[in-house]
Structure 1
Amino acid sequence: MTYKKTEPFEGSAFPLRVTVQKRQGILVNPHWHEHLEVMQVLAGRVRVQVNGKRYEGQAGDIFFVNSNALHGVEALEAEAELLGVVWDIRLTDSFMEEVELQHLYHLLLRSEVDPVLARARQPEWEVCSGTLQELRREYEGGGLGYRTAIKSHVFRLIREQLRKLQSTAGLMKMTREYERLRPAIALIEQGYSGRLPLQEVAGTAGLSLFHFCRLFKRVMNRTVQQFVQEVRLREARRLLRDTDLPVAELSERVGYGNPNYFARVFREHTGTTPLRMRKQYQDMKAAGQHPHEPE
């Protein structure tokens, strides 16, 4: 029997779903998926199971379910009600522009974290609960810019979980490895627009090319080439947002000599074309919004 669940949003441009479950017995059948999920008990009492461990929750309690974690929820009272928010792990990529943040995020996805994000009336509860309420209102109300607003709320929830992760055992080793890679990461971020010999990049970390590539993949959860591409596309999004440069000139500035190839790569990774993204930025600015600038 397989417990993997396919969410209805998979393959869509906005991979997120909000649900409210209210019934006796099983609220959420045991399953797993590659997405992230946050659940809040709206009423009554429930029992949450994550990777074989049980956690009881009451009205207000908030739980975080990591990628690939087997989980389910049982109602312990007839009036139990559960809010669920599930989203693809790449939904907030545009908010993860700081490399240190990306490192922690990918570490989070590979870690076994405490599923209890916030208990009712704990200090961090007010932030998490308020964020979930705002997210739900945006999701149900729609309107101009609602997707960007929802992404910012999801980012806040991830941020709260990352803060908890920073205090866990085992993080120090990963942080030391990241510090060793920092000079190479800085070189990539400074020289993304030109040719980057990998041997030179590896040398800044004092490693052979083989050991550097292996360490980079383990710590950053992607290859060096994938990271270079991410840096280039991140700068491309910034230039689309903040300048009026023609796409051909923009693509050359970020290291793509062929504008057609740049447009194809950009669409594969963002789901839209450079010109359409620029138009989205312009529309949001005209509405008084600030695209991709989380607090």
Structure 2
Amino acid sequence: MNYPKELKEYPLPEQTIYPFRLFFNDFPEAKAEQNIMYMHWHEHLEIIVMKKGHAIFHVDSQPYEVAAGEILFVPSGGLHVAYALQNEAVSFVSIVFHSSMYKDWNQDPQHKQFVAPYLENQYQFPVMPFKEVPACASSLALMDLIIEEFQESRPAYQLVIKNQLHLLLLLLSRTFRPQQTSGRTHERHSMNRERFKPLLEYLELHYDDKITVEQAAKSVSLNPYHFCKTFKKLTGRTFIDYVNVCRVAEAEKLLLNTDLTVTEIAGRVGCDNPNYFTKLFKQYKGLTPSALRK
């Protein structure tokens, strides 16, 4: 994956005029339950286009099963993570863009009425709009054009992508205009999301710490029972499982990019027992640390 290690993503300086990126994520031999997108969030909007395989994406506590040909919309600030559902090839494209790309359109009354409210998070599209309203699927061709323009990088491709994204938002706003981001359910999801973000960022950066469920629950002012229940909804994994995923991911990087021994790497990711570390690594990666390095 091309995502940075930090839980929150930041736009690159050179993208201030056209603040968008396309990430091509390919897993030729994905395993069932394999983490194919690490938990993260950003102030951009994101459209995920599934190209191959089946996966489950958790977006702000809600699970969405996605197959090839389907699309998800991730709102600005939304926590999201994904796992493969089967042993098969998995491929998807993430189109990430910031609302500032359309700041020069704010004088247009039609833009201000129909598109701006979605860019400013006053309204949100359903995460899977084409599944809710199949008639909207006619807009899917725009996604293929956007991906093709990015890959070919023809003259003024940035402007083409900017206009195609705007057209997509405009067409969808005709159907989903009434769906405002109000209501207790949305407020509860937003509250949990903001409450858990500092903890998730801490886990991503301090995978070697031996933090207990009780300590983690206390950090977000919940009792252990409600903490575990909410954490599973947000991430799709138990707290212990999530910590292990972070440790194994870091261990994989160290195995591939350093000359540290397996024992040294185990210690660096918070596993004092090398045998337990080897067992844990094989459980999540399907092979031992030594086999991966070979």
**TM-score of the two chains, using structure 1 as the length reference:** 0.51
Q: 1:144 to 1:27 in 2, by over 3 A?
A: same
Matches within 5 A, 1:140-219: 140-168=151-179
Closer, same or farther in 2 for the Cα pair 1:74/1:120, shift >3 Å?
farther
Query: What residue identity is the alignment partner of 1:5?
Result: E
Q: Which amino acid aligns with 2:89?
A: E
Q: CA deviation at 1:89?
A: 1.0
* Matched letter for residue 125 of structure 1: A
Structure 1 position 59 matched with structure 2 position 80? no
Q: Deviations over 1:235-263 (max 9, x none)?
A: xxxxxxxxxxxxxxxxxxxxxxxxxxxxx
CA distance, structure 2, for counterparts of residue 150 and residue 66 of structure 1: 19
| Alignment match of 1:107 (pick from 117, 142, 159) | 117
**Structure 2 counterpart of 1:123:** 135
Kindly provide the amino acid, as one letter, of the partner of residue 91 in structure 2: E
Displacement of 1:135: 0.7
| Corresponding residue of 2:282 | none
Bigger relative CO (Cα 8 Å, ≥ 6 apart): 2
CA 1:9/1:41 → structure 2, altered by over 3 Å: closer, same or farther? Answer: farther
Quickly say closer, same or farther: Cα 1:6–1:122, change in 2 above 3 A. Answer: same
For residue 110 of structure 1, report the CA deviation from its aligned partner.
2.8
Q: CA deviation at 1:55?
A: 0.8
8 Å contact from structure 1 (residues 60, 120) kept in 2: no
For the aligned residues, what is the CA RMSD? 2.7
1:104-150 CA-partner distances (Å, limit 9, x unpaired): 444321335421132399221132x2101111111111222211111
Task: Give the structure 2 partner of residue 134 of structure 1.
Answer: 145
2:94 is the alignment partner of 1:84: yes
Q: 2:32 aligned with 1:28, yes or no?
A: no
The TM-score normalised by the length of structure 2 is: 0.51
Rate the CA distance shift 1:117–1:48 in 2: closer, same or farther, 3 A.
same
Runs of 4+ in 1 over 4 A off after TM superposition: none
For the residues of structure 2 that align with 1:36 and 1:2, how far apart are their CA atoms? 18
CA contact (8 A) 1:95 1:155 kept: no
Provide, for residues 189-214 of structure 1, a one-character-per-residue CA deviation record: whole Å limited to 9, x for no partner. Answer: xxxxxxxxxxxxxxxxxxxxxxxxxx
For the residues of structure 1 that align with 2:68 and 2:161, how far apart are their CA atoms? 23
Alignment check: 8 A CA contact 1:34 1:88 kept: yes
The 1:73–1:10 alpha-carbon spacing in structure 2 relative to 1, beyond 3 Å, is farther
Aligned length: 170
Secondary structure in 1 matching 2:146: helix
Closer, same or farther in 2 for the Cα pair 1:116/1:96, shift >3 Å?
Answer: farther
Task: Tell me the equivalent position of 2:17.
Answer: 13
1:95 Cα deviation after fit: 4.4
CA distance in 2, matches of 1:64, 1:170: 14
| In 2, Cα distance between equivalents of 1:86 and 1:20 | 11
Gap runs ≥5 in structure 1: 172-295
Paired letter, 1:3: L
Partner SS, residue 13 of structure 1: coil
Q: Secondary structure at the match of 1:93?
A: helix
Residue 65 to residue 170, structure 1, CA distance change in 2 (3 Å): closer
Q: Whole-Å Cα distance in 2 between the matches of residues 34 and 59 of structure 1?
A: 26
Change (3 A) 1:7 1:110: same
